[in-house]
Structure 1
Amino acid sequence: MTVIKEIFGQYNDELIYRYTIENQHQTRLKILTFAGIIQEFSVVDAGQRINLVLSFEDLAGFTESGYNFNRIIGRHDGRIDGGRWQSLDGQIQVPTNENGNNLHGGLHGLGNQIFSSRIDNLNEAVILSYTATEANDGFPGNLNVDITYQLTNDDQVVITMSGTQKERAGIFNPTVHTYFNLSNPTVTDISEMSLLLASDRHLGLREDKVPTGEIIPVANDIYDFTQPTNLGERLTSFKLMTKEAGLDDIFVVRGDINIPAATLVDDTTQRQIDIYSDRNAIVLYTANDLNDEHMLLNRGAAHPYEGIAIEAQNLPDAMNHPDFGNVVLQPNETKTHHIIYQYSHR
């Protein structure tokens, strides 16, 4: 295993570093200190290197895009209704940045920050650190965040996200907004991939995509991915039956780190990613409104359905729905969450 650090660019007059981890199979992971971005998660298949995630060659591609490509998102992923909730300290109000709601931690969330970094030589991993302050992002209390990226020789990317709350109670529900496309580079959409979810329920959502509190069975519905389902075929139904013309939805999962919450397979090449999580939600977004011919990704100009974002997290807006789980951190409390991407070839 090798871990290499290099300067990747500059943002707001600060140097941005890139870490490259490569294992004995030539599987490669590249991480940026801006937003903890996964620039590359690639494998060598039939003599060709395949980047399994949507990406840009330069820093500007990531910093100028509004789609959160492969960024760490927090303090809270997903939407918070009105940017407020009731706590023991009274009503909390955080900044709003989308239709009167807080989305992805707001404009000053983790996905817009530069992390300090170091190499964990013992585990051949990269550790990114950042202190989110109430003065900067508007969330209650200060929060020390550590994100660890590890690539194993079994082709696992292990992501450990740890938060320690200071001063007063706050919340911690981060994720990685990773867009996958496992197909050959000449295939520029997700139509040749199939999805399996360990989920028989999804959340009811308002028009602004905030959870209503309703939990809906997926049985015999377009949201049913309990069997491997070709995304190209299912998207045909979504285009006809939904305003979004694709997935932008929240699914309830068990939160068992030993059981895949989601499995994505390229039907042609049989490349596969299993996503493991110790939390109770998977958010899926099929890049329905990605459409910018000037945005040049590794699979060409940005267009709808170029990739699928699979976000492992706690159910969003849980502070306003007690049965969604607990994302609250008490003063001096630490919570740690894990996400694992396991690559394999059938």
Structure 2
Amino acid sequence: MTVTKEEFGHYDGVPIYRYTIENQHQTRLRILSYAGIIQEFSVMDAGQRINLVLSFDDLAGFTEHGYNFNRVIGRHAGRIGGANWQTSAGKQITVPANENGNSLHGGPNGLGNQVFASRIDSLNEAVILSYQATEASDGYPGELNMEVQYQLNNDDQVVINLSGTQAGVSGIFNPTVHTYFNVSDPIVSDVTQMSLQVASEARLVLGADKVPTGEIVPVGNALYDFTDLTNLGDRLENFKAMTTERGLDDAFIVSGDLSMPAATLVDDATGRQVTVYSDRNGIILYTANDLNDATMNLNRGLGHPYEGIAIEAQNLPDAVNHLGFGDISIEPGETKTYQIIYQYNHR
């Protein structure tokens, strides 16, 4: 295993570093100190290097465009309705809104917009990123010391540990990595020849603003049921005909058991496969339905709909406003750690 570091440009005058981990199979993971971005998760297949994630060749591609490409997201991934909630003690908490009066992905100054301190952990052959979020910096309660550890092992697993230690007052902690996958050959510019399986029997009902209503419904119909491996091209035709989103932008309930796959993505033509494992109860799926920006020069072509699929492993969104969605609170002096694993295989 090799782990290396190089400068990868500047952001607001601050140097940004790129870390490369490569294993004995030449599988490669590249991480940026800006927003903890996964710039590359690539494998060698039939003599060709295949980047399994949507990406840009330069830092500007990530910093000048939205859509949170492969960024660490927090303190809270997903939406908080009305950008407020009431604590169990009856205190009303309001955080900065950045989308239709709601707080999305930690608000305008969340983790996905920050430069992390970074270093190589030689003992564990890992990359460690750290950042201190304060109430003054992002508007969320208390002080959160965040650490992200990225590892790549010789089983072709990317192991991500997301840790937070709270100080001052009680807060919330529900981060993720907003990774967009496309595991097809580089010439394939959308998700239509991939198939998806999600270990979920139920999903959240979302309002027009994509905030959960609190209702949970079974996936047991032809549109949202991915309990069996399902071709995305075929299913997207149904979404285009039956939904205003014209694709997936939805929250699915999973077991939160790291021993069981939460989601699996397969390229039907080659058999390349990425399986996502998570210790939390939500998987958010987004098929980049409204990605339409010809200034984006991504590795799968100029920005266009369905170029990749975001698979976000997290706690269910807006849990602070819905009993039963899970506990995302974090108390002063408490440390919480969550794990996400991306496993590459060839079927």
User: What band does the TM-score fall into relative to the shorter chain?
Assistant: over 0.9
Q: CA deviation at 1:336?
A: 0.3
Deviations 1:29-77 (A, max 9, x none): 0000000000000000000000000000000000011110000000000
What amino acid maps onto 1:310 in structure 2? Answer: I
1:127 aligned counterpart, secondary structure: strand
Q: CA deviation at 1:25?
A: 0.1
Cα distance in 2 for partners of 1:164, 1:82 equals: 26
Structure 1 portions without partners, runs of 5+:
none
Residue number in structure 1 paired with 2:222: 221
Residue number in structure 1 paired with 2:58: 58
Residue number in structure 2 paired with 1:70: 70
What amino acid maps onto 1:51 in structure 2? Answer: N
Cα distance in 2 for partners of 1:19, 1:141 equals: 30
Cα distance in 1 for partners of 2:34, 2:90 equals: 33
Cα distance in 1 for partners of 2:229, 2:296 equals: 32
Residue number in structure 1 paired with 2:30: 30
Q: 5 Å matches for 1:225-244? A: 225-244=226-245
Residue number in structure 2 paired with 1:133: 134
Q: 5 Å matches for 1:130-209? A: 130-209=131-210
Residue number in structure 1 paired with 2:303: 302
Deviations 1:275-325 (A, max 9, x none): 000000000000000001111000110100000000000001101111001
Deviations 1:158-212 (A, max 9, x none): 0000000000000000000000000001100000000000001000000000000
Matched, 1:80 2:80: yes
Deviations 1:259-278 (A, max 9, x none): 00000000000000010000
1:62 aligned counterpart, secondary structure: helix
Residue number in structure 2 paired with 1:286: 287
Cα distance in 1 for partners of 2:259, 2:11 equals: 38
What amino acid maps onto 2:319 in structure 1? Answer: A
Sequence identity (%): 71
Give the 4+ runs in structure 1 shifted more than 4 A. Answer: none
What amino acid maps onto 2:297 in structure 1? Answer: L
What amino acid maps onto 1:338 in structure 2? Answer: Q
What amino acid maps onto 1:123 in structure 2? Answer: N
Cα distance in 1 for partners of 2:188, 2:345 equals: 19
Residue number in structure 1 paired with 2:262: 261
What amino acid maps onto 1:210 in structure 2? Answer: V
1:29 aligned counterpart, secondary structure: strand
1:323 aligned counterpart, secondary structure: coil
What amino acid maps onto 1:251 in structure 2? Answer: F
Residue number in structure 2 paired with 1:15: 15
What amino acid maps onto 2:216 in structure 1? Answer: I
Residue number in structure 2 paired with 1:110: 111
2:324 aligned counterpart, secondary structure: helix
Matched, 1:247 2:248: yes
Cα distance in 1 for partners of 2:296, 2:115 equals: 22
What is the CA RMSD across the aligned residues, in angstroms?
0.6
Cα distance in 1 for partners of 2:119, 2:306 equals: 35
TM-score (norm 1): 0.99
Cα distance in 1 for partners of 2:61, 2:90 equals: 41
Q: CA deviation at 1:220?
A: 2.1
Residue number in structure 2 paired with 1:323: 324
Cα distance in 1 for partners of 2:269, 2:176 equals: 29
2:66 aligned counterpart, secondary structure: coil
Structure 2 portions without partners, runs of 5+:
none
1:322 aligned counterpart, secondary structure: coil
Residue number in structure 2 paired with 1:99: 100
Cα distance in 1 for partners of 2:13, 2:244 equals: 41
Cα distance in 2 for partners of 1:140, 1:123 equals: 33
What amino acid maps onto 1:185 in structure 2? Answer: P
Deviations 1:228-260 (A, max 9, x none): 000000000000000000000000000001100
What amino acid maps onto 1:164 in structure 2? Answer: T
Cα distance in 1 for partners of 2:173, 2:295 equals: 35
What amino acid maps onto 1:247 in structure 2? Answer: L
Q: CA deviation at 1:89?
A: 6.1
Residue number in structure 1 paired with 2:121: 120
